């Protein structure tokens, strides 16, 4: 019985789950893999799922790892789709939040399931082994490490190549792949600025962490605008500020959450040094009596595509889809944790993007110069890939890339 991938995708989109909470999603995956006659391990790295598909000569040929992430985001969906999410979840702080597949991981899961089904159906045509990895918690940058810590690299055949993909705001039917650095490295930082709380009517008796935070946020912007060569890539984003509970109380502390992006370790060292210098200097300028607390929430390496393997995958895509359908998308300043699998296994990685936007809508926005305004990006409450040909191409991408190595 073949998988109805469109219905599967709609179901996953309607029922998103936050990082490390993907129990229903994992159950859907397990059910379909079991129906394909495969042995499945669930609960890998808390909520991950892994299965193995052998080709015509078990134990012979290369080992190809195919990976899809499956977690959603704390975003309230505003797409207006008839299968839009109305789900709610509880984040790590215990706060109830809306939940949406605002990054397309539901499409990733559906495409990998479709690819596994096709590889099972054609297993007499190829030799080797496919390890299909459905990974939790990519949005926390923690899922791949959790699966690795759980022994996934030891319990399954060692990868000769790791392949993965991400849906993005390119026209549907387009594949974007490039050798070298495909996505940036990133760090997530939490910064706690310590002041002295008191009554809002007597600010002179306090050290106001809200003002300290405001000054720090503004000064941090100069790292890119005034301390980074315009030819280099760096991103410094303050994604959240938390301080105070009432308008007439000056709080004792303020918390900033930062997202930093850079192409390599040298740039990382430069940006981190500047962030720490500014945070500490602004606290000193405010008269803070306690040094700010700076902690790292996650660290992700750059996603670097192997030159030779990427050339093979690119050529395979061009043969299958036509040269006009394959582009170099440039380096993305977003980050991914897929490369931990390849790095820890000592295997090459090829990670690509594929389009999910209606081609006509994309062309019209491009002609009008309104792509940034009119085409929703990943993490937007309006992000929703067109169902087709996005889904079928996502399946094709994985099968074509895998078969390039499996033969």
| CATH code of 248's domain | 3.30.70.360
* Average model confidence (pLDDT) across the chain: 97
User: Same structural domain for residues 264 and 370?
Assistant: no
Which of 299, 323, 339 is a domain's end point?
299
Q: Are the C-beta atoms of residues 377 and 169 closer than 8 Å to each other?
A: yes
Q: Is 48 exposed, middle or buried (0-12, 13-18, 19+ CB in 10 A)?
A: buried
* Whether 75 contacts 84, CB under 8 Å: no
Q: How far apart are CA 117 and CA 272, in angstroms?
A: 45
Is 139 labeled as ligand-binding? yes
Task: Quick: pLDDT tens for 137-180.
Answer: 999 999 999 999 999 999 999 999 999 999 999 999 999 999 99
Q: Are 216 and 294 in contact (CB under 8 A)?
A: no
Q: 162 and 196 share a domain?
A: no
pLDDT for 167 equals 98
pLDDT in tens, 185-203: 999 999 999 999 999 999 9
Same-domain status, 164 and 242: no
What is the pTM for the complete model shown?
0.92
Residues 228 and 360 in one domain: no
What is the longest distance spanned by two Cα atoms in the chain? Answer: 79
Check residue 157 and report its DSSP letter: P
Does 166 carry a binding-site annotation?
yes
Q: Does the annotation flag 194 for ligand binding?
A: no
| Domain stops at, among 299, 324, 349 | 299
Domain carrying residue 250: 185-299
The number of folded domains in the chain is: 2
Q: How far is CA 2 from CA 5, 31, 36, 63, 67, in A?
A: 9, 13, 9, 25, 21
- For 64-87, the pLDDT digits (tens) are 999 999 999 999 999 999 999 999
- Residue 260's H or E segment, with its range, is strand 253-262
57 pLDDT above the threshold of 90: no
Query: How many CA atoms lie less than 13 Å away from 91 in the CB half-sphere?
Result: 13
Residue with tokens 């409450």: 381
pLDDT, one tens digit per residue, over 234-270 is: 999 999 999 999 999 999 999 999 999 999 989 999 9
Q: Give the end-to-end CA distance of the chain in Å, rounded to a whole number.
A: 26
């Amino acid at each position: 019985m073949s998988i109805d991938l469109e219905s599967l995708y709609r179901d996953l989109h309607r029922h998103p789950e936050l990082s490390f909470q993907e129990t229903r999603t994992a159950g859907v995956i397990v059910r379909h893999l079991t129906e394909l006659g495969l042995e499945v391990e669930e609960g890998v790295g808390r909520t991950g799922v892994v299965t193995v598909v052998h080709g015509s000569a078990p134990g012979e040929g290369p080992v190809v790892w195919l990976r899809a992430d499956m977690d959603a985001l704390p975003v309230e969906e505003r797409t207006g789709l008839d299968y839009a999410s109305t789900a709610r979840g509880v984040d790590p702080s215990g706060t109830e939040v809306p939940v949406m597949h605002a990054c397309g991981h539901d499409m990733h899961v559906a495409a990998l399931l479709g690819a596994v089904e096709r590889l099972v159906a054609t297993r007499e045509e190829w030799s080797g082994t496919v390890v299909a990895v459905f990974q939790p918690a990519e949005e926390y940058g923690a899922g791949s490490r959790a699966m690795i810590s759980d022994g996934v690299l030891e319990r399954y055949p060692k990868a000769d190549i790791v392949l993965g993909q991400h849906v993005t705001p390119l026209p549907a039917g387009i594949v974007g792949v490039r050798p070298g650095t495909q996505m940036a490295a990133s760090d997530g930082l939490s910064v706690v600025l310590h002041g002295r709380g008191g009554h809002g009517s007597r600010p002179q008796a306090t050290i106001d962490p809200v003002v300290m935070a405001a000054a720090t946020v503004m000064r941090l912007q100069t790292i890119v605008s005034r301390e980074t060569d315009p030819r280099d890539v760096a991103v410094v984003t303050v994604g959240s500020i938390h301080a105070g509970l009432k308008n007439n109380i000056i709080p004792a502390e303020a918390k900033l959450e930062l997202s930093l992006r850079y192409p390599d370790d040298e740039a990382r060292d430069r940006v981190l040094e500047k962030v720490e210098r500014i945070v500490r200097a602004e606290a000193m300028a405010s008269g803070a009596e306690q040094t700010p607390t700076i902690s790292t929430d996650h660290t992700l390496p750059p996603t670097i595509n192997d030159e030779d393997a990427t050339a093979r995958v690119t050529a395979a895509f061009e043969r299958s889809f036509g040269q006009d359908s394959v582009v170099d998308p440039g380096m993305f300043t977003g980050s991914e944790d897929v490369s931990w699998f390849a790095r820890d296994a000592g295997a090459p990685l090829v990670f690509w993007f594929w389009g999910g936007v209606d081609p006509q809508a994309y062309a019209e926005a491009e002609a009008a110069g309104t792509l940034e305004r009119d085409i929703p990006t990943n993490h937007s409450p309006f992000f929703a890939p067109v169902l087709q040909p996005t889904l079928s191409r996502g399946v094709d991408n994985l099968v074509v890339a895998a078969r390039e190595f499996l033969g």
